[in-house]
Amino acid sequence: MPSMVQNGPRNNPQAQKPHSNFPNKPRNPNSMARRERIKRQRESLPIASVKELLVEEVKTHDILIIVGETGSGKTTQLPQFLFNAGFCCDGKVIGITQPRRVAAVSVAKRVAEECEVELGQKVGYSIRFDDKTSSFTRIKYMTDGLLLREALLDPYLSRYSVIIVDEAHERTVHTDVLLGLLKNVHNVRSNFIKDHDNMDDKKSNNRTMKGKGTGTQCTSFLKHCHGRKFPPLKLIIMSASLDARVFSDYFGCARAIHIEGRQHHVDILYAFHPEPDYLDATLVTIFQIHLEETPGDILVFLTGQEEIESVERLVQEQLHKLPEANRKLLTVPIFSSLPSEQQMRVFMPASPGHRKVILATNIAETSLTIPGIKYVIDPGFVKARSYDPVKGMESLIIVPTSKAQALQRSGRAGREGPGKCFRLYPECEFEKLEDSTKPEIKRCNLSNVILQLKALGVDDIIGFDFMEKPPRAAIIKSLEHLFLLGALTDDCKLSEPIGHQMARLPLDPIYSKALILASQFNCLEEMLITVAMLSVESIFYAPREKKDEARTAMKCFASPDGDHLTLVNVYRAVDRLLEKRKMEVVNEKNLHGKNEKFLRNWCKENFINGRSLRHACDIHSQIRGHVEQMGLCISSCGDDHLQFRRCLAASFFFNAALKQPEGTYRALASGQVVQIHPSSVLFQSKAECIIFNELVQTTNKYIRNLTRIDYLWLTELAPHYYAMQS
């Protein structure tokens, strides 16, 4: 029987033990040995030999680009070097941004351990919906998106003496926007110091402090910093790829330095023929390595949580068919929404005699360096965002990796010794790959970014100093989108109160607007649950071989109105269950642990993804906190589902689709022909008009997360859009 929560403490006794090596706790021989091992590892990292040189470089250059091979120690060591060199005097903080949540969390944990402090004290992390920092935190890891949000409250980032933008080569949309913002902040802070040093009367000299395109920010900066003194900001851009030139050029020929890494030989093996099903090919390769190759862990690159969990189950099943002696294979998943306590398991060695197979998204390409990897399996795909500005549609598509990504992936096999990389496509296909990945800013919906820039006082989006300009059509479409959501005024300023409220919520603008509307429709309780459940990857799972059972289980929660109410039903069922249990077992010891187990079993029986559910619960409590702070009225529509569906129509009116005579649907905004995804409760329903939240493109265009609505509601609830169209 496949198990949803695999490889728990039973298989890996170290997996859930907290580290006990904080200074005030008694030291046991195990933690002493670990401490020694970590010390030796740190000393042997390539970066260790250039420590003094690096610190000098940072002291002499305000902006520095550091390029170094993955695993050379940039992310974990450089902040510690700078801390020890006195960059945090006066209580200032060293901030390190990561494109990915998992990297921010796992690196912060590692560095806290290396510094022998409790996480959240000197070393901490802060990511959306999870903050482990305190007033004592001096080395702070965070996502780039989070630092952007901080800039809303503190536009000149005055708490930071150093900001390190890590993994800049990933060129996520947040990284690109952050670089533009930091360039401004850097100019302003440097100019302020010059100004402050040179003139006694600051008030008379506003103009000299303006950096390129920073008019509004400088003004807000001046307002805040009047009479205060800030050190200039040290800005460090770190990247794993070799193209430092683009960053250096952008920052006015900033100094770039390279850190040599160590790389052993990696044998690259290609498939003879294209694989029709790369998941099957992955499974076969895992077992081929496991049964035929010498010891060493395997790293597999997959495209997302669903794929990872499906391969995880298939591996478990295959293992049960093998003789006992061949079953020593441990699967460990790693993807960005994995709860943080489970993320650290990738770094734990497997028990003696066991081989570990890590099933990862492209997070393991450069953001995380996992020790012990000798074999890499690269099916050659990645999930990427894609935006069509003409249709105004964003979708997630699975696309081939770039050559640069393929090289990064294979490099993971040669960090500690010679390794092998199995590319599951023929060699001739490699030559056809793009050299590098297109920056995300050129292929995504920009509404979120524009909302944040507007909230930061950057009004001229087209004139903003982006490292690479997003397509003009995408900017205009996204402005139009925000305008239709009511976030912008006629002259493209953030509207009051809606635009400002939307910018405060850490959500996609369309979800923020849904919450604001829901308070007016008296169904904010339901919408909070919906938004939380939609923020995680699928709540339901249906293993290939148990599709029918999974479907039957889903029927217990299914609402004839659609997936949104179905998700609400699941959430409420869990709530009721835990409430009932609380009444029944008041005096039990270790209630929390037992509840966890109870819930795990319940999820398994009901084909619910426990990990996603737990993540959704966390998100729910966080956004509930936000809307409470904003003073929105939280009430439930009870059984009046009509009210909730009308609110969904008013919120997601962009994504409405009408049934066609032949059974497919036509998206009203884009005219695209789409089909209902088989995972939807409305699959094979006769609904005439629906709204949806997600468009997934495989061979077909599928829409997911749907609710039945009345076509007439669209003109009633979104007349500014539909009256305009007709």
Binding site for ligand CDP (CB under 6 A): 45, 68, 70-77, 106-107, 110, 347, 369, 371
Pick the closer one to Mg ion by CB: 54 or 567. 54
> Taking Cα atoms as reference points, which of 43, 47, 126, 111 lies closest to residue 80?
111
Count of alpha carbons within 13 angstroms of residue 396, beta-carbon side: 11
Choosing among Mg ion, ligand CDP, none, which partner's interface includes residue 565 (Cβ < 5 to 8 Å by kind)? none
Q: Which residues inside 275-334 make contact with Mg ion, applying CB under 5 A?
A: none
Choosing among Mg ion, ligand CDP, none, which partner's interface includes residue 693 (Cβ < 5 to 8 Å by kind)? none
143: contact with Mg ion by CB under 5 A: no
> Taking Cα atoms as reference points, which of 436, 430, 433, 432 lies closest to residue 271?
430
Q: 511, 531 in Cβ contact below 8 A?
A: yes
Q: Can you say whether the dihedral through the CA atoms of 39, 40, 44, 49 is positive or negative?
A: positive
Quote the least distance from Cβ 608 to Mg ion, whole Å: 35
> Taking Cα atoms as reference points, which of 458, 418, 532, 442 lies closest to residue 129?
532
97: contact with Mg ion by CB under 5 A: no
Quote the least distance from Cβ 19 to ligand CDP, whole Å: 12
Choosing among Mg ion, ligand CDP, none, which partner's interface includes residue 371 (Cβ < 5 to 8 Å by kind)? ligand CDP
Residue facing Mg ion at closest CB distance: 75
Helices (H), 521-606: 524-534, 547-555, 563-584, 591-605
Choosing among Mg ion, ligand CDP, none, which partner's interface includes residue 110 (Cβ < 5 to 8 Å by kind)? ligand CDP
Pick the closer one to ligand CDP by CB: 107 or 377. 107
Helices (H), 171-244: 173-198, 215-225
Quote the least distance from Cβ 365 to ligand CDP, whole Å: 10
Q: Which residue has the tokens 């009408």?
A: 658
Q: CA–CA separation, 599 vs 583, rounded Å?
A: 16
Quote the least distance from Cβ 47 to Mg ion, whole Å: 10
Quote the least distance from Cβ 80 to ligand CDP, whole Å: 10
Pick the closer one to ligand CDP by CB: 71 or 499. 71
Quote the least distance from Cβ 183 to Mg ion, whole Å: 22
Choosing among Mg ion, ligand CDP, none, which partner's interface includes residue 71 (Cβ < 5 to 8 Å by kind)? ligand CDP
Quote the least distance from Cβ 349 to ligand CDP, whole Å: 10
Q: What is the 3-state secondary structure (H, E, C) of 556-575?
A: CCCECCEHHHHHHHHHHHHH
Pick the closer one to ligand CDP by CB: 42 or 469. 42
Pick the closer one to ligand CDP by CB: 368 or 681. 368
Rounded to whole angstroms, what are the CA distances from 518 to 219, 248, 523, 622, 718? Answer: 36, 47, 5, 17, 15
Structure-block tokens of residue 209: 């402090």
Count of alpha carbons within 13 angstroms of residue 229, beta-carbon side: 7
Pick the closer one to Mg ion by CB: 376 or 703. 376
Pick the closer one to Mg ion by CB: 75 or 651. 75
Quote the least distance from Cβ 369 to ligand CDP, whole Å: 4
Pick the closer one to ligand CDP by CB: 365 or 525. 365
Pick the closer one to Mg ion by CB: 143 or 447. 143
Backbone angles phi, psi at 387, to 5 degrees: -130, 130
Q: Which residue has the tokens 């919408």?
A: 527
Backbone angles phi, psi at 567, to 5 degrees: -65, -40
Quote the least distance from Cβ 127 to ligand CDP, whole Å: 15
Return the axis-axis angle of helices 610-629 and 563-584, rounded to nearest 10°: 90
Q: 644, 563 in Cβ contact below 8 A?
A: no
Q: 553, 607 in Cβ contact below 8 A?
A: yes
Pick the closer one to ligand CDP by CB: 109 or 210. 109
Question: What number of chain residues touch Mg ion (CB under 5 A)?
Answer: 1
Pick the closer one to Mg ion by CB: 79 or 562. 79
284 alpha-carbon distance from chain centroid? 30
Choosing among Mg ion, ligand CDP, none, which partner's interface includes residue 612 (Cβ < 5 to 8 Å by kind)? none
Pick the closer one to ligand CDP by CB: 310 or 367. 367
Residue window 50-89: x/- pattern of binding to Mg ion, with contact defined by CB under 5 A: -------------------------x--------------
Question: Which strands make up the sheet holding 63-68, listed edge to edge?
Answer: 130-132, 123-127, 139-143, 93-98, 160-165, 234-239, 63-68, 255-259
Choosing among Mg ion, ligand CDP, none, which partner's interface includes residue 624 (Cβ < 5 to 8 Å by kind)? none
Q: Can you say whether the dihedral through the CA atoms of 179, 184, 188, 191 is positive or negative?
A: positive
241: contact with Mg ion by CB under 5 A: no
Quote the least distance from Cβ 532 to ligand CDP, whole Å: 28
Q: What is the DSSP letter of 683?
A: T
Choosing among Mg ion, ligand CDP, none, which partner's interface includes residue 137 (Cβ < 5 to 8 Å by kind)? none
Quote the least distance from Cβ 699 to ligand CDP, whole Å: 37
Quote the least distance from Cβ 642 to ligand CDP, whole Å: 50
Pick the closer one to Mg ion by CB: 75 or 303. 75
Pick the closer one to Mg ion by CB: 68 or 470. 68
Q: CA–CA separation, 311 vs 331, rounded Å?
A: 9
Residue window 17-56: x/- pattern of binding to Mg ion, with contact defined by CB under 5 A: ----------------------------------------
Choosing among ligand CDP, Mg ion, none, which partner's interface includes residue 161 (Cβ < 5 to 8 Å by kind)? none
Quote the least distance from Cβ 75 to Mg ion, whole Å: 3
Which residues does residue 67 pair with via DSSP β-bridges, in sequence order? 239, 258
* List of residues 6+ apart from 419 with CB closer than 8 A: 264, 265, 266, 267, 296, 373, 374, 375, 376, 413
Q: CA–CA separation, 131 vs 366, rounded Å?
A: 24
Quote the least distance from Cβ 366 to Mg ion, whole Å: 7
Choosing among ligand CDP, Mg ion, none, which partner's interface includes residue 347 (Cβ < 5 to 8 Å by kind)? ligand CDP
Q: 687, 656 in Cβ contact below 8 A?
A: no
Structure-block tokens of residue 142: 């965070």
Residues lying near Mg ion in the complex (CB under 5 A)? 75
